Structure 1
Amino acid sequence: METFAERMRRATTEAGDAGLAGLLVTPGPDLAYLTGYRPPAETERLTMLVLRAGGEPVLFVPLLERHDAESAPGAAAVSLVDWADGADPYAGVAKLLDPHGGYAISDSAWALHVLALQEAAPRSRYVPMTRALPMLRAVKGPEELERLAAAGAAADAAFERIVSVRFAGRREREVGADLAGLLREHGHSRVDFTVVGSGPNGADPHHEMGDRTIAEGDMVVLDFGGMQDGYASDTTRTVHVGEPDELEREVFEIVRRAQRAAFEAVRPGVACQDVDRVARTIIADAGYGEFFIHRTGHGIGLSTHEPPYIVEGETQPLVPGMCFSIEPGIYLPGRFGVRIEDIVTVTADGGRALNNTSRDLQIVH
């Protein structure tokens, strides 16, 4: 309980430092982080944690979900207010707000709720949580790091198994189903994505998987992840069916060098954008800059994508405990793609990879 109470105190302080009167937190990663509460189902009924300076935390919940909320790990640190169908929960929330104050609100808050709050407190204003408090969940504690490491190890174990299955002559979605099954076998409670991009499909970073039959001579991008014990995994390896040609080996080696150099650039105090610049410079100097079409990385934790973002313009310095992906890639339209991705955490003097399978080009059959 004290862990969640401390998180709520820190969040309220950070909101004040940002010039805000408080936070309004709806179901999703922020609510789970601050209270440990995950509502039993997505619903149009309002569930909202209200945090504000000088006041105790208040969690508004539908009456029929009160029992679930009372069972949350951080429930003892909040004042629980339930509301019954037919009542107006927005009026209750509005009574707690500074009528002229600004509030950070969860990115995933329904428009239904935001608009109703604006009607109930028309002079208040709202800003997205990740814009106002981008680093709220960015620095992980020891238990969070353990869970992320376990999720990463499970994803590694799935990859070590998948390279032994047959690729040639099978559809992408069949290999993707194998991957999903292996993630669950190694402890994932949920599989969120399985990218299996073979041949020209690998040039689409978010291809996921389709009905294309994988053939001898294909480069295949495998990007997969999900949730284990509440925390996310996300890793990418690129394999080749049979022996690659000279161009494929060249492109793969460029991406491998870029990914390694970016990892070696990780240390406290370095700006996020500088890690991106290291990877991007290597790829651009090799003549493939225009084919690296996304950021180098994203934060990870209770959700797969969260701050910090490893991208040009992000000047936030790295801090021990931050976790994010390093995943440069080269995508040649109509031909193939290559991406290598590890989840990395910042340590006191550098970085630690939470994915540890081979980053060399593996040959599959």
Structure 2
Amino acid sequence: MNPPFDHRYLDELMERAGLDALMVTSKHNVQYLLGGHRFFFFDYMDAIGVSRYLPTLVYVRGELDATRYIGNAMESWQLDNDPVWVSDLDTSTWRAQDAIELALAHVRRVLPGQAVVGIEGSFLPVEAYQRLAADPSVTLRDGQFVLERLRAVKRVDELKLLEEASDAIVDSMRTTFGVHGPGSTKREIVQTLRQEQTRRGMTFEYCLVSMGASHNRAPSNASWAPGEVLCLDSGGNLGGYIGDLARMAVLGEPDAELEDLLAEVEAVQLAAREPIADGVVGQAIFDRAGEVLATSPHRAVSTFVAHGMGLISHEAPRLTSTGPVPYPNYDGPRALAAGMVLSIETTMLHPRRGFIKLEDTVTVTADGHRAFGDRARGWNVVDLAAARV
């Protein structure tokens, strides 16, 4: 079986970083390198007994056949049903330290002498890291950046999952808006959205929900009143890929002020899309959005951000170092590439009308861009006579 990723490009990235091998321990990167495999038993949690599940894939630069995957003692059932391309499999572990010990032994065997190994520091338990750091035969360096670069441009099958996830989230929001009305609470609305996403084959991850004049986005027993706005900002997972969009509703017909406020947000969103294309520098998105935002009467309470999307939220391309999630602005001065996927979002924290936001998922194409789930972007009007669920 052939690997589902460009292993020659991975070898190139590793050579640039000075890595002889990668020791991959995050569930999302293991899933990517194995072509979709994610052990069902630990899909939602990692803890087991006194340790944790630690899927570990060892990839040796330039030696595809030396790849080894180390999994849990029950994982062979799933691998029997859905084989992966890696032939060297060890499904005997329960503890993180056992998995890392086997991975280390494999590195010593295929790379005798000194080896430079890239690790995912943010996804490596202390007990596993300490064992690696104590071994004089390996020099540890960051491997997370290399893996993020490998995932930055999405394959056709990945784009399909992201589009389906985005469509399902928007459809779930529209259904949720349609079955709630006066008196519905934030908790009830989020629960409906969870059920709707699940019904569409997704794994519900979160919903940031705001209602009325409040900027609080946590579920609560606050109830929806006539004339109030409702913002749903939700992430749903389909096959490991995350859709993340935000849409607005209002209980009763929106007044002129609400129409104007959402139009301001929409203007920034559409402006941000204009420069998106293969070869365009990432900063151009922020420059164009900033031009329009500067003309907004509510610019003092409005913000714009764009970030990469895929197996995790906020991945490559990294386009800003001043957004809500902190990381270096690596891609801002660099060209976008066809196949990259972006989330673009404009937020207004109006002091009287509340939290007004649109968030869209856009993919870079060879001749421009294309938006996923690109509907229900105006005010979704909920009938005041709607029955409360």
Percent of aligned positions that are identical: 25
CA distance in 2, matches of 1:76, 1:362: 46
CA distance in 2, matches of 1:303, 1:185: 22
Q: Secondary structure at the match of 1:357?
A: coil
Higher fraction of strand: 2
Q: Secondary structure at the match of 2:227?
A: coil
Matches within 5 A, 1:301-316: 301-311=310-320, 313=329, 314-316=332-334
Residue in 2 that maps onto 1:297: 306
Amino acid aligned to 1:316: R
Deviation (angstroms), 1:278: 2.1
Amino acid aligned to 1:38: R
Matches within 5 A, 1:174-323: 174-188=188-202, 190-201=203-214, 203-204=215-216, 207-293=217-303, 296-311=305-320, 313=329, 314-323=332-341
CA distance in 2, matches of 1:46, 1:89: 12
Task: Please state if 1:103 is matched with 2:121.
Answer: no
Q: Secondary structure at the match of 2:269?
A: helix
Matches within 5 A, 1:46-195: 46-55=54-63, 56-62=65-71, 64-65=73-74, 67-68=76-77, 70-71=79-80, 75-81=84-90, 88-89=101-102, 91-93=104-106, 95=108, 96=110, 99=114, 101-105=116-120, 107-121=122-136, 124-127=139-142, 129=144, 131-188=145-202, 190-195=203-208
Which of residues 344, 354, 363 is equivalent to 2:362?
344
Would the alpha carbon gap of residues 76 and 162 (structure 1) be closer, same or farther in structure 2, given more than 3 Å must change? closer
Q: Secondary structure at the match of 2:316?
A: strand
TM-score norm. by structure 2 comes to 0.82
CA distance in 2, matches of 1:281, 1:343: 21
Amino acid aligned to 2:124: A
8 A Cα contact 2:27 2:55, kept in partner: no
Amino acid aligned to 1:17: R
Deviation (angstroms), 1:118: 1.0
Residue in 1 that maps onto 2:326: none
RMSD: 2.8
Q: Deviations over 1:54-86 (max 9, x none)?
A: 433433425624614744866333422455679
Deviation (angstroms), 1:352: 0.5
Unpaired segments ≥5 residues, structure 2: 322-328, 384-389
Residue in 2 that maps onto 1:29: 28
CA distance in 2, matches of 1:22, 1:59: 11
Q: Deviations over 1:140-163 (max 9, x none)?
A: 111111122111221222123223
Would the alpha carbon gap of residues 82 and 263 (structure 1) be closer, same or farther in structure 2, given more than 3 Å must change? same
Amino acid aligned to 2:291: T
8 A Cα contact 1:28 1:38, kept in partner: yes
8 A Cα contact 1:24 1:51, kept in partner: yes
CA distance in 1, matches of 2:77, 2:136: 29
Residue in 2 that maps onto 1:10: 9
Q: How many residues align?
A: 358
Q: Deviations over 1:210-244 (max 9, x none)?
A: 21111122121111231123322211111222244
Residue in 1 that maps onto 2:324: none
Deviation (angstroms), 1:319: 0.8
Would the alpha carbon gap of residues 93 and 45 (structure 1) be closer, same or farther in structure 2, given more than 3 Å must change? farther
Deviation (angstroms), 1:167: 3.0
Deviation (angstroms), 1:257: 0.3
Deviation (angstroms), 1:269: 1.4
Would the alpha carbon gap of residues 91 and 234 (structure 1) be closer, same or farther in structure 2, given more than 3 Å must change? closer
8 A Cα contact 2:265 2:358, kept in partner: yes
8 A Cα contact 1:94 1:117, kept in partner: no
Q: Deviations over 1:121-154 (max 9, x none)?
A: 476122151x344322121111111122111221
CA distance in 1, matches of 2:187, 2:72: 43
Would the alpha carbon gap of residues 67 and 338 (structure 1) be closer, same or farther in structure 2, given more than 3 Å must change? same
CA distance in 2, matches of 1:81, 1:353: 41
Unpaired segments ≥5 residues, structure 1: none
Would the alpha carbon gap of residues 69 and 113 (structure 1) be closer, same or farther in structure 2, given more than 3 Å must change? farther
CA distance in 2, matches of 1:61, 1:342: 37
8 A Cα contact 1:94 1:120, kept in partner: no
Would the alpha carbon gap of residues 65 and 290 (structure 1) be closer, same or farther in structure 2, given more than 3 Å must change? farther
8 A Cα contact 1:187 1:228, kept in partner: yes
Q: Secondary structure at the match of 2:318?
A: strand
Q: Secondary structure at the match of 1:281?
A: helix
